[in-house]
Amino acid sequence: MASSDIIQLLPDSIANQIAAGEVVQRPASVVKELLENAIDAKATQIQVILREAGRTLIQIIDNGSGMSETDARMCFERHATSKIRQSEDLFRIRTMGFRGEALASIAAVAQVELRTRQETDEIGTLIKIEASEIKTQEAVACVTGTSLSVKNLFFNVPARRNFLKSNAVEMRHVLDEFQRIALAHPEVALTLHHNDTEVFNLLSGKLVRRIVDIYGKTYREQLAFCQEDTSYISVRGYIGKPEFARKTRGEQFFFVNDRYIKHSYMHHAVTSAFDGTIPDGSHPFYVLFIEIDPSHIDINIHPTKTEIKFDDERSVYAIIMAAVKKAVGVYNLSQSIDFEENINFLSPSPSEANHNMVPRTVMPDWAAQSKKPDSGQSRSNLTNWNKLFEGLQNTEDRNRELVAFETNTVSASRPQYQEQAMTVASKVNRMASEAIAAPESDAVIFQLHNRYILSQVKDGIMLIDQKAAYERILYERYRKMLTNRNGACQQLLFPKTIRLTHSDMQLVHETKKEIRSLGFEFDEFGANELIIRGIPADLPEESEQDLFEELVEQLKRSYSDLKLNKPESLSRSLARRFSIRYAVKLSLVEIHTLIDQLFASTDPNRTPNGEAIIVLLTMDKLSSIFKV
């Protein structure tokens, strides 16, 4: 009678491939694991050599302690580790790798060659493995340390290989991992070569030197030291001054016991400490190291070990926030006083109190000193002084009205679209057209809180979400630009040089055709710098650097979808982001222009993401609101 047993142990080769699915997701995963192994081996010099962003070759050469012949063979076995002897050791981890999965997983999906020698040994060991199968093991002459080459990643798993992105994208992930480890270990000299080109050559030194070597000399002037020591944790590192905050993410680093981690709650602690000093949508630079007893954390919650749990997150949050706030205060990084702001230092007069508490003009010291109760001349001087400022204020108001009139006349500050697309036939469209065409005495159109537009129509009121309307208009504008590659460019009188991170520069390389299609004109200048020569003609006036950085940030957020349909995904992403800038006061002319542009679009009722733009309140609906 046949056995009914159906449960079997997996062969090691298949088990290793399953583990590889968690540990080895892309070339960057291999670079991270091998760099961490080299650092654990006490290496002071590490070389990283790549070909085709790591697809065909990843080689890590270190001058660390090396391995014996037995250890060289054992390191490719699953869960073989020098870090764990008993369960309690899991709660005292201070090294990088400890599970013993990395080399076994890498060897399961690549062709691996290991050369290693300890300083006390006269000869080293060479091991070659393919798909978990050892092909060669022999003695070989080699230098002290370890050289590990990973060739043809996923050669035996074609499905996994097909999921890899372009070389530019994979290289961007490699650079991210390399920079994190480089920042965590400034005492280690690191070099990175890609296709025989040197990308990084980082000498050993202090953390501030490492930051400048990675991100450029301009960072010297923006760094401020941050430190806070308590009995629970110690925080140290550098933060960037608020004026250097950027529109792009990616320059925010947390390290716990020298291990890079991601922690949104702790990130919030840092950004909260910057409240009021940086604009909305900007991101401060920081590299912060947290030292804590390993027994207070759990790093064994994810194979990549980038996620972590603290046993007292609230205390950690409070200490980090206090440390950053203190650095902001000590280095006078807080926003300076706005001398153009009208601040009320004096108690309001009864007339002012009855006029929405309009603050009085600030008096200089010498004017205040002349104010004496028993001096009629002083009262006269004070009155004349206030009248002088009232005259200036009236002049300023008239100038503001003149500028508004000229701006409304030419409508130069906001996009004006001449082309007319097919209008969707609907009752809402017909009523909106009637409202626009009706005489001003009959139709009522106005703006509410710089956010909504209310228009009287025959059967009630039409409400338009201003931001959503601009999102639809901008989407169709960008979609047309990207499809036809004909975005209008406004040349800059003075070209602007901006610096990007290595990974952001890779992204620009990958999408430069799309960026130029939108109307940006730029040239490369040095390893990680661009010269912006022109910007899209229809964008609001703003810093060229901020505009370009926001574009890069949107590219990063939407890149997962760009491969499928770049024009569609990028148009949606940019329209949603830049529509925020149009939540401003509009003149009557601009309101009419907005409505014209909206109803000339292919779908004035919905944003590209399906959100409502228009709501119609009929007379019946309005009547029902007031009925009890």
Lowest mean pLDDT among 20-24, 82-86, 423-427, 512-516: 423-427
The rounded distance, in Å, linking the Cα atoms of 399 and 140 is: 84
SS3 state of residue 80? coil
Burial of 44 (0-12, 13-18, 19+ CB in 10 A): middle
Percentage of the chain lying above the pLDDT 70 cut? 72
* CATH fold group of domain 414-628: formyl-coa transferase, domain 3 (3.30.1540)
Amino acid identity at 145: G
Rounded alpha-carbon distances, angstroms, from residue 4 to 7, 10, 98, 331, 351: 9, 18, 39, 74, 96
- Residue range 539-557: mean pLDDT, rounded: 78
**Domain range list for the chain:** 12-205, 217-330, 361-410, 414-628
Q: Which of 39 and 386 is assigned the larger pLDDT? A: 39
For residue 384, what pLDDT is reported?
45
Instruction: Please determine, for residue 88, whether its predicted confidence score (pLDDT) is greater than 80.
Output: no
CB within 8 Å of 349: residues ≥ 6 apart: 360
- Residue range 411-427: mean pLDDT, rounded: 37
- Residue range 301-328: mean pLDDT, rounded: 83
CB within 8 Å of 418: residues ≥ 6 apart: none
For residue 145, what pLDDT is reported?
95
Q: Is 280 left (phi over 0), alpha (psi -120 to 50) or beta?
A: beta
For residue 540, what pLDDT is reported?
63
| Range 282-305 burial, b when 16+ CB lie within 10 A, else e | bbbbbbbbbebeeeebebeeebeb
For residue 152, what pLDDT is reported?
95
Please calculate the CA angle 564-566-572 and round it to the nearest 5 degrees: 110
- Residue range 422-439: mean pLDDT, rounded: 39
For residue 382, what pLDDT is reported?
46
For residue 559, what pLDDT is reported?
63
The rounded distance, in Å, linking the Cα atoms of 464 and 452 is: 6
Amino acid identity at 288: L
DSSP calls for 557-624: HHHHHHTT-HHHHHHHHHHHHHGGGG-S---HHHHHHHHHHHHTSS-TTB-TTS-B-EEEEEHHHHHH
Q: Tell which CATH classification among 1.25.40.10, 3.40.109.10, 3.30.230.10, 3.30.930.10 matches the domain 217-330.
A: 3.30.230.10
- Residue 621: pLDDT band (50, 70, 90) is confident
Using alpha carbons, select from 516, 518, 517, 524 the residue that is nearest to residue 495.
524
The rounded distance, in Å, linking the Cα atoms of 149 and 61 is: 9
Residue located via tokens 């229809």? 538
For residue 457, what pLDDT is reported?
84
Instruction: Please determine, for residue 112, whether its predicted confidence score (pLDDT) is greater than 80.
Output: yes
H or E element at residue 289? strand 286-292
Instruction: Please determine, for residue 9, whether its predicted confidence score (pLDDT) is greater than 80.
Output: no
The rounded distance, in Å, linking the Cα atoms of 498 and 286 is: 19
Kindly report, residue by residue over 330-357, the tens digit of the pLDDT.
765 444 333 334 333 333 433 434 444 3
CATH code for the structural domain at 12-205: 3.30.565.10
The rounded distance, in Å, linking the Cα atoms of 222 and 328 is: 12
- Residue 14: pLDDT band (50, 70, 90) is low
Please calculate the CA angle 180-181-185 and round it to the nearest 5 degrees: 120
Kindly report, residue by residue over 114-126, the tens digit of the pLDDT.
999 999 999 999 9
H or E element at residue 160? helix 158-162
Lowest mean pLDDT among 38-42, 193-197, 487-491: 487-491
Would you say 105 and 16 are in contact if contact means Cβ atoms under 8 Å apart? yes
Residue located via tokens 């142990």? 9
Percentage of the chain lying above the pLDDT 90 cut? 32
Using alpha carbons, select from 309, 299, 312 the residue that is nearest to residue 93.
299
Lowest mean pLDDT among 180-194, 367-381, 431-445, 454-468: 367-381
- Residue 300: pLDDT band (50, 70, 90) is low
- Residue range 490-496: mean pLDDT, rounded: 87
- Residue range 364-385: mean pLDDT, rounded: 42
Task: Give the full edge-to-edge strand order of the sheet including 489-499.
Answer: 489-499, 529-536, 521-524
Same fold, 217-330 and 414-628: no
Instruction: Please determine, for residue 234, whether its predicted confidence score (pLDDT) is greater than 90.
Output: yes
Q: Which of 444 and 163 is assigned the larger pLDDT? A: 163
Amino acid identity at 408: N
| Range 171-206 burial, b when 16+ CB lie within 10 A, else e | bbbbbbbbbbbbbbbbebbbbbbbeeeebbebeeee
User: Residue 18 corresponds to which tokens in the numbers above?
Assistant: 């399953």
- Residue range 551-572: mean pLDDT, rounded: 70
In degrees rounded to 5, what are phi and psi of residue 269? Answer: -60, -40
